[in-house]
Amino acid sequence: MTIYVGCSLTQAPADFKRSVEWLKESLRDAGYETLEFLGLIHGTERDVYQHDIQNCVGKCDFFLAVCDLPSIGLGYELGTAVEKHGLPTLAVAHVDSKVTRLVLGIDHPLFRFERYHEMAEVVEMVKRYAPLQ
């Protein structure tokens, strides 16, 4: 099972980025393949769009959106995953994070939104919604 983990990067603090990297590593340890976004330093803006939207969202089996911080890019990825590709999608946010009502209101049979206290809980959520065969 191939998972793409999307999140805010542009304005995200370093500790948030480290927690997302820990999450991706934990998912790999659990047997999932995780696709890598280009991030903030590799490639041009066009390269980031092509890679993240076409090579990651467009080719994953399951999309995981970490919605702890506002992000226009993550919103675009969510819309592409759910509305364009109809991908099984799990959006998560820490219990203390403010999340846009638009995301909270998504009404699609393959979309789920969950809150977590600790990032380790997200791994268990993924196992529940995207079990390995």
Query: Mean pLDDT, to the nearest integer, of 41-56?
Result: 87
Is 37 domain-assigned? yes
The residue segments making up the domain with residue 94 are 6-129
Is 114 domain-assigned? yes
Is 94 domain-assigned? yes
Which residue(s) pair with 34 in the sheet?
Answer: 3
Is 81 domain-assigned? yes
The answer to whether the beta carbons of residues 128 and 90 sit under 8 Å apart is no
DSSP letter at 66 equals E
The answer to whether the beta carbons of residues 80 and 56 sit under 8 Å apart is no
Residue 45 has pLDDT above 90, yes or no: no
Token pair 């364009």: residue: 84
**Amino acid, single-letter form, for residue 55:** N
User: Measured in whole angstroms, how far is the alpha carbon of residue 48 from the centre of its chain?
Assistant: 16
- CA dist., res. 99 & res. 86, Å (int): 22
75: phi then psi, degrees, rounded to nearest 5: -60, -40
Burial readout 90-117 (b: 16 or more C-beta within 10 A, e: otherwise): bbbbbeeeebeeebeebeeebbebeebe
pTM for this model (two decimals): 0.95
What is the number of structural domains in the chain? 1
- CA dist., res. 67 & res. 80, Å (int): 15
Residue 53: CATH number of its domain:
3.40.50.450
Is 1 domain-assigned? no
Q: pLDDT by residue (tens digit) across 66-102? A: 999 999 999 999 999 999 999 999 999 999 999 999 9
Query: Mean pLDDT, to the nearest integer, of 89-118?
Result: 97
Is 115 domain-assigned? yes
